[in-house]
Each structure stands twice: as structure tokens, then as C-alpha cells.
Amino acid sequence: MPVNKNHGRKKGRCQFGFFLFFVWCLFSILHPVDSQGTSPSTSTPIPVLSAAYARSRTRLYIQGGITLTNRVAGSKLSQFFALDLTQPWSASAPSWIRLNHGGPATALHNAVVSMDEQRLLVTGLMLDTFGYVYQVEEDNWAPSRVVVPNPNRAEVQGVRDLETGLVYFAGGFETDDSIMSVYNFTRDTVVSPNFIIPTGMMADRSYYAGVYVKSRKSIFYFGGFPNSNGGQINSGPGALTEFVPSTGAWSKLVSSGPKNMVVRGGVSANISWTFITLTRNTIDDHERWTIPSFKPVHGSM
């Protein structure tokens, strides 16, 4: 299947991190946007759209994003912060840690943390390069050494296997988007093993949600747009797809999922018996899925 390079319809995503919405609103007035710069000189993040998020056991990272003023998109930022999850904090004084802003100034990209939590990979940069790697101890950015045929695929999400530490990109970075690309943090390499995505299993989808579920040692995929038709949405019964990295097996799970919803992101609970999908554009518009029943429960946070 040919890769759809029409990025005009790619819309801002909001990925997991419900409470960040409220935190950013508190600072939106205090920190006006500098339309000329790519990095704010503030101690807290500037509110943006389409930033990349990644969570470790002790931190929630936010990198990049694009500013929005009066519904008009502004500058792409290289801002980089971490929210300290090891100590209690209030919404009026969250424990932000300002990190090295020398990473890419971009948006609509993805981030994932290594198993040892010492590295952060960002991909889908639209900069004709596969990605950048952030070293936690050194607080330093460097381009990845990886070279792939199609590096600008912002619509594929990396999901780390909690058993092996490998990162799986469904749709991949080859010229054929039925391929699964696998990133190795230790070697800084990408391979495309014989994990061909079966026809109809992912529906050639882009901007999907992906989450690793420890209890099943598998990755769940949900939602997104088919590359072949941006007007349709992968949702509703049967749209929940499971991939097992250890065997390469794919399957569709029967569910009573929501219809006509664009899923922006997903996050698994600590014990992996539930996971949450963010849908549409509002903070309380989400589904909480129970495992193994695969039944969604709509509610507000």
C-alpha cells in the first residue's frame, strides 16, 4: 500500500495526561507566547497543541508543540519539561522541571521512554530525520543515527514492550505502511522484522492510539484515520486490535466500543486491568476500558 503523504488533513492530537489541561490553563495568561522564538524562557510550559508526551515511573515529559492564538496556529516550540511524579503537588504549584530545550522545534510528533528510563526518543518530526534521542543523565539531545526510507511519518505511534524494551511502530517507516518497524534503544537501530500487518487488521490507520497491556503482554490499538480516506474513522465494534510482540500474532477483539470517535491517545493503568482512551477534543470525553471484558465505561475524570 502506498504511503499517503498528504499531511494537510493532519490535525492536532491531544494525547494522554488529563490533568495537564488544567495545569496549562493556569499558566496560559501568565506566559504569553513569543512568536519569534522556539523556546520559552519560563519555568513552566507554555500551553501548546500537538506536543509529544511520555511517562516514566517518576516523570511525565512534554516536548515541543505548536502555539495557538485566537484559533490561529503560531510557532512550533522546542520547549521541554518534566513533571515530577515522586512528590505531591497542587494544581497551583505543579512540580515542573525545566530541561534542555535544545531538542527539535516541532509538533504532531511522538515520544517514548527507554526501559531503563535513561533515554527519550522523539520521532515523526517532519524534519527529514528519523528522530532525536534525549539522554536523561547528561540532559542532552542528539540526532538518532537511524536512517529509514520514510522518516517523516508523524502518524505512527511508538509503543514500548515492557518485557523487552523494544519499541513497536505499527505502519512503520518503510515505503510500505503494512510493515511493523521496531526500534532498539540500546543499539539505536530500527529493523522491520517479518511482522506484516494483515489486511484489514489496522485498516491502514494513522493517528491511532496504542498502549501496552502488561496483563496480556500485548499492544492494543484503537481509533485513528485510514490513510486511504481521511473522512472515515476507525472506531466502533471490532476496532480494538491486539498485537502480540512475542509471536507476531494479530487479532481483532469484539467490543462494544464508541462509534465515530477519533482516539487521540491511550494510557494503561498501573496494574494493566484498565486503560483509558482520550477522544474528540474535550477533557471529559473519554472511555475507560476494562480488561479482559473489553467493555468501555464513559465518564469524567
Are 175 and 149 within 8 A, CB to CB?
Answer: yes
Q: How confident is the model at residue 249 (pLDDT cuts 50, 70, 90)?
A: very high
pLDDT at 141: 97
16 and 122 housed in the same domain: yes
pLDDT at 228: 57
279 and 149 housed in the same domain: no
Domain ends where: 101, 126, 154?
154
Q: Residues near 48 by Cβ (< 8 Å), separated by ≥ 6?
A: 64, 65, 66, 67, 68, 77, 79, 107
pLDDT at 246: 93
CA-CA distance, 22 to 29, in Å (whole number)?
Answer: 13
Are 262 and 15 within 8 A, CB to CB?
Answer: no
Whether 166 is in a domain gets the answer no
Whether 251 is in a domain gets the answer yes
Are 78 and 97 within 8 A, CB to CB?
Answer: no
Q: Which of 4-13, 107-116, 158-167 has the lowest mean pLDDT?
A: 4-13
Whether 164 is in a domain gets the answer no
What is the tens place of the pLDDT at every residue in 94-134? Answer: 999 999 999 999 998 999 999 999 999 999 888 889 999 99
Domain ends where: 121, 154, 187?
154
Buried b (16+ CB within 10 A) or exposed e, 236-257: eeebbbbbebeeeebeebebeb
pLDDT at 87: 87
Q: How confident is the model at residue 178 (pLDDT cuts 50, 70, 90)?
A: confident
Whether 3 is in a domain gets the answer no
CATH code for the domain of 232: 2.120.10.80
135 and 67 housed in the same domain: yes
Whether 240 is in a domain gets the answer yes
131 and 213 housed in the same domain: no
Whether 35 is in a domain gets the answer no
Nearest to 16 by CA among 214, 271, 212, 182: 212
145 and 253 housed in the same domain: no
What range does the domain containing 227 cover? 197-301
Report, as an integer, the average pLDDT of 171-195. Answer: 89
Report, as an integer, the average pLDDT of 193-203. Answer: 78
pLDDT at 256: 57
121 and 228 housed in the same domain: no
Number of domains in the chain: 2
Whether 169 is in a domain gets the answer no
Buried b (16+ CB within 10 A) or exposed e, 14-47: bbbbeebeebbeebeeebebbeeebbbebebbbb
138 and 23 housed in the same domain: yes
203 and 87 housed in the same domain: no
Nearest to 222 by CA among 198, 197, 203: 203
211 and 117 housed in the same domain: no
Question: Is pLDDT at 77 greater than 60 in this prediction?
Answer: yes
16 and 130 housed in the same domain: yes
Q: How confident is the model at residue 289 (pLDDT cuts 50, 70, 90)?
A: low
pLDDT at 29: 36
Q: How confident is the model at residue 135 (pLDDT cuts 50, 70, 90)?
A: very high
pLDDT at 205: 72
Whether 178 is in a domain gets the answer no
Q: Residue holding cell 511520555?
A: 54
Share of the chain above pLDDT 90, in %: 37
138 and 256 housed in the same domain: no
160 three-class SS: strand
105 three-class SS: coil
CA-CA distance, 14 to 51, in Å (whole number)?
Answer: 8
145 and 226 housed in the same domain: no
What is the tens place of the pLDDT at every residue in 14-60? Answer: 343 434 444 444 344 334 334 334 666 788 898 898 899 999 999 99
Question: Is pLDDT at 161 greater than 80 in this prediction?
Answer: yes
Q: Residue holding cell 473519554?
A: 286
In the sheet that holds 158-160, the strands lie side by side as 158-160, 167-171, 179-184, 189-191
Domain ends where: 102, 137, 154?
154
